[in-house]
């Protein structure tokens, strides 16, 4: 599915499907300020809906289709959406909730008019802290637009580029590919899922000049090429969603192209620091300097930032965004890092307890809570172990109640309601968990 944006007389770019999507949304009675759930299968209509809602001032709440129905139900209960746009197979589809089935095709219509209001909420994305409690992060139209422009400048995107996107559009990574690339008029080759052989074939056929990957995807692509160089038509591999191991980056470089490492958060609409493609080989091991407009500093070893891409805050129970900032106006990421002599960010660790497996965030407290609900589990500790393919895999250490017997099979059954990437791959059973002198659980030990 090749999406080709078209220029308008005022210098903007629009997907042909955006006009039909805007007309359809208006016919359903939706207007600026409304909030809709978004669970639409990847495709031209979904991409058009993303752009149309953005220009119309309609806020979309994204529901990741990799979650289970139970996880989606919990998020939906807190989402404050009355209607969900849905198509294809999605976990929300099994729930009894108000929905609108999005048509497979839409008739062509003129490009939607972009209403004013950069402070209007554009996206609500669910993220979690170390407690595992989901937080609803609000991105304004201004923040999304600023992030799209700055990342496009860093990657030198233009209408001659074709970007290969393999992430669901109801996921932050997939949605931002659409909203970012069309600002530069870049074409998007949209695939419903990542398939190693298909992606390598498309690249070798010269179908894309750039693509987005998480380290797990890059690992599989490099391994499958078996030493075959990257095609000359491919100029940029953007790697995000987790730490990029230096050996993997150098393995890609050996095929002729160093990946462009990027570091970002939901709270900054995607990219905060990104390597300059021309500096990718020299910058291996770093995430590059901040993108245009964003400022980064290191305070007490922690990465802090501010700038136009900063989110509006986390919604409280009443739906009001609350933006936690330092007293002098910076947002503390919780990640540890340093800046090298060239101003490039070097990360020393993700948020203290966060596990990043295959580009997806796993919060230990959430998995531990599920395990500790089992009647024979006294305590559980979940952490990540380094893995050459997934970046990290989830381990679980379990203490049973009063020495009762418990098997791996029973533990696996206990976490079956979680998304696959959250389920522990390896298990150990102990009589006690390590603790600090103050009695706190010590994951490091």
Q: Taking CA 184 as the corner, what is the angle to CA 291 and CA 208, rounded to the nearest 5 degrees?
A: 95
> 30: which residues sit within 8 A by CB, 6+ positions away?
36, 56, 58
Give the chain's radius of gyration (CA, Å). 22
Tens of each residue's pLDDT in the chain, 445 residues: 899 999 987 888 999 999 999 999 999 999 999 999 999 998 999 999 999 999 999 999 999 888 889 989 999 999 999 999 999 889 998 899 999 999 999 998 988 889 999 999 999 999 854 345 678 999 999 999 999 999 999 999 999 999 999 988 888 888 999 999 999 999 999 998 899 999 999 999 999 999 999 887 898 899 899 999 999 999 999 998 777 878 789 999 999 999 999 999 889 988 999 999 999 999 999 999 999 999 999 998 899 999 999 999 999 888 899 999 999 999 999 888 899 999 999 987 666 678 888 988 887 878 888 898 888 888 889 989 988 888 899 999 999 987 788 999 999 999 999 999 999 999 999 988 887 544 556 777 7
Tokens at residue 141, please? 């139209």
pTM of the model: 0.82
Tokens at residue 113, please? 């008019």
CB 171 within 8 A of CB 190: no
Task: Specify burial of residue 241 (Cβ count, 10 A radius: 0-12, 13-18, 19+).
Answer: buried
Measure the CA dihedral 121/42/292/297, to 10°.
80
- Domains parsed from the chain with CATH numbers: 2-349 (3.40.50.12780), 355-429 (3.30.300.30)
Residue with tokens 């009894």: 96
């Amino acid at each position: 599915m090749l999406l080709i944006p078209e220029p308008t007389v005022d210098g903007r770019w629009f997907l042909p499907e955006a006009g039909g999507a805007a007309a359809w949304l208006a016919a359903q009675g939706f207007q600026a300020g409304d909030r809709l759930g978004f669970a639409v299968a990847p495709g031209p209509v979904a991409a058009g809906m993303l752009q149309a809602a953005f220009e119309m001032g309609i806020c979309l709440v994204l529901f990741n289709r990799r979650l289970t129905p139970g996880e989606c139900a919990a998020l939906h209960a807190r989402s404050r959406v009355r209607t969900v746009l849905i198509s294809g197979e999605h976990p929300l589809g099994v729930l009894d909730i108000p929905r609108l089935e999005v048509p497979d095709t839409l008739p062509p219509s003129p490009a939607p008019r972009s209403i004013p209001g950069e402070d209007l909420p554009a996206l609500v994305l669910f993220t979690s802290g170390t407690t595992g409690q989901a937080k609803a992060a609000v991105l304004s139209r201004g923040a999304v637009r600023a992030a799209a422009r700055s990342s496009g400048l860093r990657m030198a995107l233009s209408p001659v580029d074709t970007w290969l996107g393999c992430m669901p559009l109801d996921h932050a990574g997939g949605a931002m590919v659409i909203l970012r690339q069309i600002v530069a008029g870049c074409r998007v080759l949209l695939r419903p899922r990542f398939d190693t052989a298909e992606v390598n074939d498309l690249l070798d056929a010269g179908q894309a000049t750039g693509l987005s990957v998480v380290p797990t995807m890059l690992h599989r692509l490099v391994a499958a090429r078996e030493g075959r160089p990257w095609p000359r038509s491919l100029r940029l591999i953007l790697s995000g969603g987790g730490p990029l191991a230096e050996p993997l980056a150098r393995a890609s470089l050996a095929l002729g192209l160093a990946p462009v490492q990027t570091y970002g958060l939901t709270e900054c609409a995607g990219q905060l620091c990104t390597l300059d493609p021309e500096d990718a080989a020299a910058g291996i091991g770093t995430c590059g300097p901040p993108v245009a407009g964003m400022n980064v500093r290191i305070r007490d070893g922690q990465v802090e930032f501010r700038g136009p891409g900063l989110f509006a805050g986390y919604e409280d129970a009443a739906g009001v965004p609350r933006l936690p900032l330092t007293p002098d106006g910076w947002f503390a990421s919780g990640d540890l890092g340093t800046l090298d002599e060239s101003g490039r960010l070097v990360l020393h660790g993700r948020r203290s307890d966060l596990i990043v497996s295959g580009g997806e965030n796993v919060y230990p407290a959430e998995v531990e809570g599920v395990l500790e609900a089992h009647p024979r589990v006294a305590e559980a500790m979940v952490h990540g172990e380094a893995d050459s393919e997934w970046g990290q895999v989830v381990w679980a250490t379990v203490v049973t109640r009063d020495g009762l017997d418990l098997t791996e099979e029973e533990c696996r059954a206990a976490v079956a309601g979680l998304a696959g990437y959250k389920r522990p791959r390896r298990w150990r059973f102990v009589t006690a968990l390590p603790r600090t002198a103050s009695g706190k659980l010590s994951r490091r030990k």
